[in-house]
Amino acid sequence: MKEDKYAEFELAANTIRCLAIDAIQKAKSGHPGLPMGMADVAAMLWLKYLRHDPKSPDWADRDRFVLSGGHGSMLLYSLLHLAGYGLTIDDLKQFRQFGSLTPGHPEYRHTRGVETSTGPLGQGVANGVGMAIAEKMLEARLNGNAAEGEFRPVSHRTVVFCGDGDLQEGISHEACALAGTLALDNLILIYDSNNITIEGSTDLSDKTDAALRFKAYGWRVLEMDGHDFGAIDRTFRKAFGKPCGKPTVIIAHTTIGKGSPNKQGTAACHGAPLGDDEIRLVKQGFGFDPDATFSVPAEVYAAFEARARKMHRVANTWKRQFKEWRAAHPELSAAWDRHFSGELPDNLESILPKFDPAKPVATRAASGAVLNALAPAIAPLIGGSADLAPSNNTYLKGFGDVSASDFSGRNLHFGIRELGMAAIMNGIAVHGGFKVFGGTFFVFSNYCRPALRVAAMMKLPVVFVFTHDSFYVGEDGPTHEPVEQLAALRAMPGVTVIRPAEATETAAAWLWALRKAQGPVAILLSRQNLEILDRAEYPAASLLEKGAYTLWQTREGRPDVIAIATGSEVGTTLAAAKSLAAGGDWRNIRVVSMPSRELFAAQGALYRDEVIPAACRKRLVVEAGVSFGWEGIAGPEGRILSVEGFGLSGTYKALAEHFGFTPANVAALMKAL
């Protein structure tokens, strides 16, 4: 029998269960198992331990709560309603309906109180790791030398609910291993261990000892009965107490669908409404009116309102102390503004490196030079690589490494974990305070895609540095030579792909990404050296922000032929056009550099027609990737020089000859138009 002191938690938990099953039943769609199984844990967390203020949902020092198993969204929506985040009963009744504030999975910036979009299992765990990293890094920058007991502007935790599905996904290993390495003692992962997945018992596919797994990562492991309020309270008291120098995982042994007499503990309640008859039995078992729907006892509202008032006082105390802290610590206050204002210095162009047109350089090397020139002026700029910093040129020299013992550095070592890296970047971005980038070889963008896709949905301005961007990788062969990746990235809504032609366009790409991006940006960079365009002779590289521009033309006037190229192929195409002009070709040939199709498509029709006039139908597109997506730009009379199969192993010069990416062959194609 439960102690009386936990009666309000039990009533709150059962209310959450009933709200969830009513909404799911009304929608005729949803997942009741998770909300019913984790309601006891959630009620204790939100009514006693989670530090947040519904009246100030963006309070900078709030605890972050992530429901990684986004399919159980009615758990979160019920909590947000009860806690006072503005979700009404009518909103709950519109669960999973078009245009509602309660979509099937939680969506960032759509519903107040939702910290990140979740659904693809495991990504919420990695987002949580990213949030915890961001908090630790801000602590190191903003808390100064505050002694124990003194005000610290950054002092919060990240709490993540996850389940068996999250921990079976490989991304959870990537993220949790890094969290252990970094000793993120501000991270609490609460594992809903119910031993059920869609197909049945977890034993069908997984017999991993979760406790041993997390101990191996270097985590503190706690276990509890997820339905014993006394055990939950004692475990939370320990987990939320003094930091232990390790991230904490709480293995909560729960029953999926708790309270459903005929379906609890089985896969039957995972992803389908319980049905009207079963819902009546559930409510009768809880002592609720079986005929009432979306009913909330007054005592439950009162309990959540009392907690909200207490947390509002906590938030207001923080705000008062923060104001005093600003006055007492003007340098730290200015640092806070640099991290949270989103503003960048106006003079970034003046601090960019100067590239000598007489000295060819790979755009990956140019990117590294640009990053290191900008880093001193942009304090929030941080990033890293999936163990490829020397090749990606992503290391910020002189700014130190992020480690368990020192979070003041600006270089993150993600390890060989591309997907984990991408989702951790998302977590850093939604937390706020930093502009984050991550690098790997372009061919491994395939590993990043699931998290890159969610970044696009959330409109997060994360920057991906993808180097070794074509068959010019050379000797490593087809496994490392991206071919279809360009088309695949461009097919993803909301992603801006930029493939600069040379060093000056690379600098312009970084300026655009840091200043203007409203979503994820992928900057694609060459392994091989490329000729640098002398901007005294050619148009300004800043035209990159328009996506495409006329780089060179035989003479003024209407073009007879337009050659459109991206990246390393711009130099090849320019050389081809100039060779034809020098050889006496009478036609007026225009060379267009198109570093970003997305940016070009965003321009007005007048500008697009100015660069690529509809009247000029003889067009050649040159790009070292598949032709998919270029057909509309090439037009019915145009041609596309592309790579329609996988690459080969050999020197990049031999491969360029084999695939026809030489000035001579490009010139021949122009001539044949």
Share above pLDDT 70 across residues of the chain, in percent, rounded to a whole number: 100
Average pLDDT score over the chain: 97
Which pLDDT belongs to residue 601?
98
Same fold yes or no, 4-311 and 545-672: yes
Residues 6+ apart with CB under 8 A from 213: none
Give me the pLDDT at residue 1, please.
Answer: 39
Give residue 3's pLDDT band: very low, low, confident or very high (50, 70, 90): low
Does the pLDDT value for residue 458 go beyond 60?
Answer: yes
pLDDT per position as a tens digit, 78-123:
999 999 999 999 999 999 999 999 999 999 999 999 999 999 999 9
- Structure confidence at residue 549 (pLDDT): 98
Instruction: Give Cα separations from 84 to 5, 63, 64, 75, 111 (angstroms).
Output: 23, 16, 16, 14, 12
User: What confidence score (pLDDT) does residue 51 get?
Assistant: 98
CATH fold of the domain at 4-311: Rossmann fold (3.40.50)
> Is the predicted pLDDT of residue 466 greater than 50, yes or no?
yes
**pTM (whole model) above 0.95:** yes
User: Binning pLDDT at 50, 70 and 90, where does residue 148 land?
Assistant: confident
Query: What's the whole-number mean pLDDT along residues 275-289?
Result: 98
CATH number 3.40.50.920 given to 545-672: yes
d(C-alpha 673, C-alpha 670), whole Å: 5
pLDDT confidence of residue 375: 98
**Using one digit for the tens of pLDDT, what is the confidence trace for 328-354?**
999 999 999 999 999 999 999 999 999
Q: How far apart are the first and last CA of the chain?
A: 85
Domain-by-domain residue ranges, the chain?
A: 4-311, 545-672
How does DSSP assign 172-188, residue by residue? HHHHHHHHHHTT-TTEE
Nearest to 475 by CA among 305, 339, 651, 342: 651
The sign of the CA dihedral 16, 17, 19, 24 is positive
The answer to whether residues 626 and 566 touch, using CB atoms and an 8 Å cutoff, is no
Judged against a pLDDT cut of 80, whether residue 494 lies above it is answered with yes
- Contact in structure between 49 and 62 (CB atoms under 8 Å): no
Q: What's the confidence (pLDDT) of residue 50?
A: 98
pLDDT in tens, 530-566: 999 999 999 999 999 999 999 999 999 999 999 999 9
- Evaluate if residue 2 carries a pLDDT over 70: no
Region 510-515: mean pLDDT is 98
User: Does 490 have pLDDT greater than 70?
Assistant: yes
Task: Name the pLDDT band for 427 (thresholds 50, 70, 90).
Answer: very high
Catalytic positions are: 418
Residue type at 606 in one-letter notation = L
